[in-house]
Structure formats: C-alpha cells, structure tokens
Amino acid sequence: MNLKHYLQNNILITDGAMGTYYAQVTQSNNTLSEKANIHQPDIIYNIHKEYIEAGAKLIRTNTFSANTKVLEQDIKGVKEIIKKAYALAQQAVSDAKEDVVIASSIGPIPDKDFLEEEDLFEEYKAIVDTFLKVGADTFIFETFSDINYLQDIVPYIKSKNKNATVITEFALNIYGYTKKGKSANRLLDDLRKIEDIDLYGFNCGIGAGHLYQIMQKVRWSDNEILTAMPNSGYPDVLQDRTVYMDNTDYFVDTMIDLAKLGVKVIGGCCGTTPMHIQKLNEALKDFSMETIRRPRKVEAAVSTKAKKINALEKKFTTNEPVIAVELDPPFGQKIDKMMEAANLLKANDVDIITIADSPMGKPRADALIVASKVSREVGIPVMPHICCRDKNVIGLKAQILGGYIEGIRDLLLVTGDPIPSGDRNEIKSVFNLNSITLMEMLREMNIEHFEDEPIFYGGALNPNRANIDKEIERMQKKIDAGAKFFLTQPIYDEATIEKIKYIKSKVDTKILGGVLPLVNIRNARFIQNEIIGITVPDEVIHQFDEKMTREESEKIGIEIGKKVALKMKNIVDGFYFMVPFNRVNMINEIIKALKKG
C-alpha cells in the first residue's frame, strides 16, 4: 500500500495497544511484551491477526521497547527480538491476505544511561539497520518528547532507503506539552523543518478527549498528514493489575471527531484493544471525507509587546564586565550570616548574587527560595542555580514557575554534583534531565510562558577538561539550547587561562572567570586533591604554611585571587567569585583591587 496515495481519499486506521493488550490476554501485569516475540510468538501473532481482522490497515511491530536499556539485553539479543517481531507481523499480514502496512515501531531509548550521545545514536542506527535488513520500509517513532536524535536518525533512514516512509509521534500531557516542556504547536514547527519525516502526530500519554481538545488548537496546513493514537483513557490499579475502563463507544466517537478535524491517521495506544479498532472501523463506514473541517493555517504567533531586558543581559549586551558572587545557602535554618554577606556585597557594587543548589550533594536550604529572600530583602539581582539531581521534570518546571512568580529572571542551569557514595543506598538521584535538556525545556517555557520577559540563563564550563574540544562541543549544545553565558570552575593557573582564551576564539559567548580564594594550606590541598575539574599548581600550595595565622593565610589567598583575576581580566567578560566559608571580606578585597586596575 502506498500510504500517501491511500490517505488522499481515505482515513487510515492503525492497530491499538500491544503492551497493555498483551497483559490483558496473558492475565498478567506485564506490559513489556517484546520478549514474547521469542518466548510466546503465538500470542503476538494472534494479537496482530485480531487487529487486522478488526480493520487495521497499519500494524506496528512488537518492538517499541526493543533496546538494550529497557530489555536489559545486549544488542545481539535486541536484534534477534526485532527480527522475530517483524517476521511475526509479516506472517500475520500474509495469512490475512489483506493490504496492510507493517510499521517498524521504535520507542525512545532512555538517554540518561548513555555517557555519550554518539553511543545512543549508534544504538538507534543498529535498530534501524536490523529493520532494513529484514525488508522494512515504514518506520514509526512513538512516544517521543522532542526531536533530539530524530533529526539525525530520520535522514539516516532515508539515506539507506529514499522511498521509506517515516512517521513520528509524540506524547503530550493534558495541557498539550511533552515532558520536555514543548507545546504541540512548537513541536510541529520543529517537525516541519525535518523534510524527511512524512507523517507526524501524537500518541499515548492522554486519552482521546484531551487529545481532541488539544488538536482543536493545533495549526496545520492541508498538505500535512497528522496522526492521532491516544490511550483509551486513564488507568486504574485493581488487585495489583493495571486496567482501563471499558469506554469503547466514547473512544470511537471522539476519534471520529478527530477525523473531522482533519486527522488522517487514527488508532489507539495504551488500553485500546481489537474491539476499539473494530468499532472505529465500523463507524468510519458512514464517514464522509466532505465532513472534514479545514485545518487551521500554519501561522507563527507574533508578539506585539517589546521584550523586557534585565540588568544582567543588558550588561552583557553592552560588553560591561559583570561581577557575580556565589553564596552557599545554610545547612540549617539560620540565614543571618548569609544575609549580612549579601548586604556587604551589594555595598561593594556587585552585579548579581548566585545561590548554589545543594553543592556536593549535601542538603542545604532551597536555592530558589533563599534567592527570593535575598532579592526581596537586600534589593540585589539574584541567580539561583537549578540542578537536575533532585527533581523530575514536574518538580523542575514547578520550581521555575514559582521562581518566576517571585521575580526570579536569571538562572544557572547545571546537571548537579553526584550524591556522595556513602549516601547512595538511602538517597537516590533523579536526573530526569541533564543541563542541556533542562535548558531546552526552559527555552520552551520562555516561549510559552515568559515571552514578554524571558528568563536569562547560562551554564557551567569546565576549562580543565582533558579534551577541551569536547567541552567546546558541549558548550555549543548549551548555546543552541538557549544558554547566553557560562561560569567557569575556579582558576588558579595560567594554563587554564590560556584554555579560556582558546575557548573564546572558538565560541561566541560570554564567560565569567571563576575565582575561589584559598583560605589556608589545608583548604588548598583539599581542592588540589579531592575536587575533580579544578587544577591547583604546587607553586600555589607552596605559598601557604602550616604555621600561618588565619589572617596571614587569608592575605595569601586574597593575593592569589587578585593575580589570577587581573591576568584574565582582558580575556573574560567578568568574574564569578565564590565566597569561601562565608568570608565575604576576601571577595570584597579582590573586587576593590580589580576596580583599581
């Protein structure tokens, strides 16, 4: 079947759920059905057969979760599952003697388990190559949340088979956003830029009713083919089993309404069964293509309001040197010393105070709440850090929204220090996102929520990384995700300053050089030997002595900080001072020296 030709005059019905229907058939709570391709092939074959008999003109291979991470198998085992899955779908279509398209189903691979993006892309390629070798010519990428990897893997498919058909589908929440914070309309805008994608739409995540409400607001043109494969509804748990209510008639009525909006490919995801597809097929017999409403035209929304630029952005724009100082929130409830430090820094004309987010994986007062208090009571701009370690996407978005309500307009987005090894049995990291994907999410929030006064955000930079070009590559990804500036790790040597100079020659961005005054020889040795990513030369260590008083050690630390700052003054766009042990006097002394030149 030629899909595009068929869709000119027809609505195409796909199959429904595989995983949840497999669990229903086997009377289990196991929706991970991919291994059944090998161990229970008759069940998978019969499910395909039931959907074809119900009227499906497109069936998806039982491979949505066929990857090394979800199945916990090596790539050889995954390939065998894929080959068997495709063979079962082929057999079901052949035996039915019907003109049915087989779509090779590929779900998102959990990317947090891959150290490098290249490794993840290589696995997508291995999956695609396996399908191509068994004759697949239609691919469906299901339940994605953004176009990352798709913009690379889809052209790869077309380079192998220029006649292949590629369908991409994305999961939305009831408000019309993916878990990465991208709206349906924004997502379609991005998809239109990938010419090799033939059909696109939405699946899973929400029921038909919510998807219909979202699609009423979506803009698309006559020549675009959209798909809709929602869940049958929302699940409940009865006797330890996940179940969906029997609402077949409601589902079918709503899917017909979606077809009237102009959606050309309709089917089902979680909770749907051959009965849903059969009744949908019957309902379409009385459907007239003339009842389809004309899709909304694709028109980019244009704001007529001027965007408000905050003080930090303005300073960067006018190339004025920026002075940012980091304060650590307290471990307990007492915040007097920190507030006193903030007032002293304001008196010294510091531009912005940054607030760390439980650095070193040790719990401190919430950075955003503390930043709000400092901003409100001291009257100085603040930049709380937000890390990905402790919150999922819901928590991160809620935190950002709450901060915005409190007037927070500057953020430093970081992946976050790992939890100390001794605590990992009791405390678990989240890492739903990394710094780059968090930036991508905030970029979308700026468009959808904060367009008139967007949040200005940046990221961290480690100039001491062994492969500096890799660090530059990562910086560029952050810039592409909306980062406008970078704060470096503390710098103590000329070699690192030269690396920053090299970075500046390669990347057009703003960099604040990191300065953390050393307070004594013990502190210097600790940073040299126990903090990864910071280089403290021996000649710096040798300037301290065990017998020095606190005042003598602080004086040495201030002098080292002054020298480093002055050496990189004409290279960086400002400074990122970190206050050691609340000794704000050391920072103020270095700032005064910088002002004198």
- Read off the pLDDT of residues 332-355 as tens digits, 9 standing for 90 and up: 999 999 999 999 999 999 999 999
* Phi-psi category of residue 482: left, alpha or beta, with phi > 0 → left and psi -120 to 50 → alpha: left
Cα–Cα distance measured from residue 1 to residue 549, given in angstroms and rounded to the nearest whole number: 84
CB 186 within 8 A of CB 155: no
Do residue 113 and residue 256 come from a single domain? yes
In-domain check, residue 54: yes
Do residue 278 and residue 316 come from a single domain? no
Is 269 annotated as ligand-binding?
A: yes
Do residue 361 and residue 416 come from a single domain? yes
In-domain check, residue 302: no
Evaluated on CA atoms 268, 270, 276, 277, the torsion sign reads positive
Domain boundary among 231, 263, 291: 291
Listed as ranges, residues in the chain with pLDDT below 50 are 237-239
Do residue 60 and residue 171 come from a single domain? yes
Structural Rg of the chain based on CA atoms = 28
Burial class (CB in 10 A: 0-12, 13-18, 19+), 251: buried
Do residue 481 and residue 362 come from a single domain? yes
pLDDT tens, residue by residue, 85-101: 999 999 999 999 999 99
- Domain CATH number, residue 73: 3.20.20.330
Read off the pTM.
Answer: 0.72
Tokens linked to 569 = 């003054």
Is 270 annotated as ligand-binding?
A: yes
In-domain check, residue 304: no
Three-class SS state of 390: coil
In-domain check, residue 500: yes
Do residue 283 and residue 349 come from a single domain? no
What is the dihedral angle through the alpha carbons of 383, 386, 387, 391, rounded to the nearest 10 degrees?
A: 170
Structural domain that includes position 80: 12-291
Give 396's Cβ-side CA count (13 Å radius). 30
3-state SS, 32-91, equals CCCCHHHHCHHHHHHHHHHHHHHCCCEEECCCCCCCHHHHCCCHHHHHHHHHHHHHHHHH
Q: What is the CB neighbour count within 10 angstroms for residue 563?
A: 15
Do residue 210 and residue 78 come from a single domain? yes
pLDDT reported for residue 529: 93
Do residue 504 and residue 580 come from a single domain? yes
- 388 Cβ contact partners less than 8 Å away, ≥ 6 residues apart: 396, 414, 415, 416, 430, 431, 432, 433, 434, 435, 438
In-domain check, residue 303: no
In-domain check, residue 297: no
Do residue 344 and residue 383 come from a single domain? yes
pLDDT reported for residue 55: 96
Do residue 251 and residue 336 come from a single domain? no
C-alpha distances in angstroms, 83 versus 15, 38, 100, 267? 20, 10, 19, 24
Cα–Cα distance measured from residue 514 to residue 577, given in angstroms and rounded to the nearest whole number: 6
In-domain check, residue 28: yes
Among 43, 36, 18, 41, smallest CA distance to 103 is for: 18
Give 93's Cβ-side CA count (13 Å radius). 19
The helix (run of H) or strand (run of E) holding residue 207 is strand 199-207
- Domain CATH number, residue 368: 3.20.20.220
Domain boundary among 291, 325, 359: 291
Do residue 556 and residue 470 come from a single domain? yes
In-domain check, residue 1: no
Do residue 472 and residue 361 come from a single domain? yes
Give the number of domains in the chain.
2
Domain boundary among 257, 291, 325: 291
Give 382's Cβ-side CA count (13 Å radius). 29
